[in-house]
Amino acid sequence: MFKILIIYYSRSGNTKKMAEFVRDGAKEEKVEVELKKVEDTTPEDMLNADGIIIGSPTYYGQPASPIIKLLEESVKYHGKFEGKIGGAFSSSANIGGGNETTILAILEAFLIHGMIIQGSYKGDHYGPVSIGKPDVRVEKQCKELGRRIAKLVMKNKS
Amino acid sequence: MFKILIIYYSRSGNTKKMAEFVRDGAKEEKVEVELKKVEDTTPEDMLNADGIIIGSPTYYGQPASPIIKLLEESVKYHGKFEGKIGGAFSSSANIGGGNETTILAILEAFLIHGMIIQGSYKGDHYGPVSIGKPDVRVEKQCKELGRRIAKLVMKNKS
Amino acid sequence: MFKILIIYYSRSGNTKKMAEFVRDGAKEEKVEVELKKVEDTTPEDMLNADGIIIGSPTYYGQPASPIIKLLEESVKYHGKFEGKIGGAFSSSANIGGGNETTILAILEAFLIHGMIIQGSYKGDHYGPVSIGKPDVRVEKQCKELGRRIAKLVMKNKS
Amino acid sequence: MFKILIIYYSRSGNTKKMAEFVRDGAKEEKVEVELKKVEDTTPEDMLNADGIIIGSPTYYGQPASPIIKLLEESVKYHGKFEGKIGGAFSSSANIGGGNETTILAILEAFLIHGMIIQGSYKGDHYGPVSIGKPDVRVEKQCKELGRRIAKLVMKNKS
């Protein structure tokens, strides 16, 4: 069975809640899903997954530093992530800008790894965004992301 | 047979040359490949392709306006491009910055269409970039892009 | 007296409304302010302004093609815009992503011109964003942008 | 006298060399200039500077994690950096993409702080970029950045 790893950093609990919704969505497909705090995640965990989804709060328009640090350390396996599937989501305390650049930062790192990503033509195009506590709209977006990544994994890794 | 459409805008001939290299790469796989100037391309042409690769010079860090106009008009089929495969490349007169933002602009439009993209772990990560006339390095990058998109199409559209 | 030119593209009227709010804010300072549709704007108009603010709807994560076309044509005066002040704002039909990349596309073009830009630490950091019809929050953001650009012009062009 | 702080992260020495060139350029103007490793820099150091220039290698298209961490911690003074001047530069081991997104990540953080930035109409538009060891071209770009930021500081903080 293919494996999807959802990595998140969360202080307020909002990004964690989003991560759980993404997991619920992925679990609707025939894949194994694991949820991990970034603090507990190693590049090896990423290497062992077929799909990697990363969620982060928006700090100055960028992902949180533990996320950036993990991506940095993943250079150890540069070339080995080719063809894996990636996705991203972000939360922020208030409207204002920075959510898109946060998500794109994660997606750009995935592209540099040679990974495959997909947008959504409806909803949050680059990846789910929550302003404050995730509401019903965000829940739907997150579940859809989980399902989408799971389907892409099954299609591309078979 | 699956179809790949390569769309380009070129005044100096550099982007056209890159487009031809991308085509040569794609043709190594079992797909149909068409090369079109953006001026001759309609949203319908995009709708009929399984993979869409767009090349543009870098004007102020963005794709040329005819490229942006075509992407704009493609809204007519919003939702119908979901799952298509996308790629991008760019050329510029001199080093200085703007190539990456040009390529990312095209890739972002593809994501908003719900399309699938992939980076390269070696070479030009987001997409091939040429400074001035395409050299041997650029030729290799472009061919690799063509092959990569063709393979992704065959995998995802089957 | 220093001059600020506000350029916009608007089909639904939302971006136009934002442009008017930006103008109202700029007019609170001792500067001359002109509001122009992009269709009526030439690179010469830009050359004659000390501050240039551009507003656009979000089409596939990018500014509208007439905006991109005007920026392209401004290459005629490349080097002459150095030190001018720039700002940007955007509107979109619904939440989903693309507003930030639209504003950043305009700001990147300004940077390539050697222009000066400033963010906002409160409100919409990169530039005002409206989802649908501009509300009171957006009105405030737009006025603040107008005032900020006017002040930057007076400081830097004196 | 106004103060410019140049912060850098460097493992190979390339980014450090760039930082020294930026310092040399800034010193041609009547400003105080300090060069600091990111590991030795606090948000208080940033608070005490009128201009802040940050240099980083490109890791997966983003600044190094210690840079991101410092920017994160600067939230302590959110609002107090308004009107400061910012600049950025980056180095990478090889061509391939990611330099522009690295520089833009730093500039975006500055915009979110309400800071002022400026591009260059010649040379490296968003900020100096070095592929491998800084050469004469890069030296010139870096010095020009130092001078430009120093002039902007003197103009805007007077």
HEC string of B104-145? HHHHHHHHHCCCEEECCCCCCCCCCEEECCCCHHHHHHHHHH
Among A89, A100, A106, A121, most C C-beta atoms within 10 A, so best to mutate, is A100
Q: Which tokens sit at D36?
A: 């600091």
Q: Do A98 and D112 touch (CB under 8 A)?
A: yes
Inform me whether the pLDDT recorded for C41 exceeds 90.
yes
Residues of D in contact with B95 (CB under 8 A): 124, 129
Question: Mind listing the pLDDT tens digit of every residue in chain B (158 residues)?
Answer: 999 999 999 999 999 999 999 999 999 999 999 999 999 999 999 999 999 999 999 999 999 999 999 999 999 999 999 999 999 999 998 778 899 999 999 999 999 999 999 999 998 999 999 999 999 999 999 999 999 999 999 999 88
Q: Tell me, what's the pLDDT at B136?
A: 97
Q: Which residues of A touch D61 (CB under 8 A)?
A: 105, 108-109, 111-112
- What integer is the mean pLDDT of A77-82? 98
Q: How far is A34 from chain D (nearest CA, A)?
A: 24
Query: What residue in C sits closest to D157 (Cα-Cα)?
Result: C155
pLDDT digits (tens, 9 = 90+) for A123-138: 999 999 999 999 999 9
DSSP H or E stretch at residue C56: strand C51-57
- Percent helix / strand / coil, chain A, rounded to 5: 45, 20, 35
Within 10 Å of residue B16's Cβ, how many Cβ atoms?
Answer: 17
C78, C114, C120: residue with CB nearest D119: C114
Min Cα distance C155 → chain D (Å) is 6
Interface confidence, given as ipTM, is 0.97
Per-residue model confidence (pLDDT) at position A96: 80
Kindly identify which residue of chain A lies nearest to residue D111, measuring between CA atoms. Answer: A60
Residue A93: band (very low, low, confident or very high) from pLDDT cuts 50, 70, 90: confident
Whole-angstrom distance, CA of residue B157 vs CA of residue A67: 33
pLDDT at D94: 78
How many angstroms separate the CA atoms of D54 and D69, rounded? 13
Identity of the residue in C96, C104, C125 whose CB atom sits nearest the CB atom of A125: C96
Inter-chain CB proximity C61 and B101 less than 8 Å: no
**Rounded-to-integer distance, Cα D36 and Cα B37, Å:** 50
Structure tokens of D127? 């900020």
CA angle C30/C36/C41 to nearest 5° reads 120
Q: What are residue D59's DSSP bridge partners? A: D62
Rounded to the nearest angstrom, the minimum Cα separation between A157 and chain D is 23
- Residue among D72, A64, B78 at smallest CA distance from A88: A64
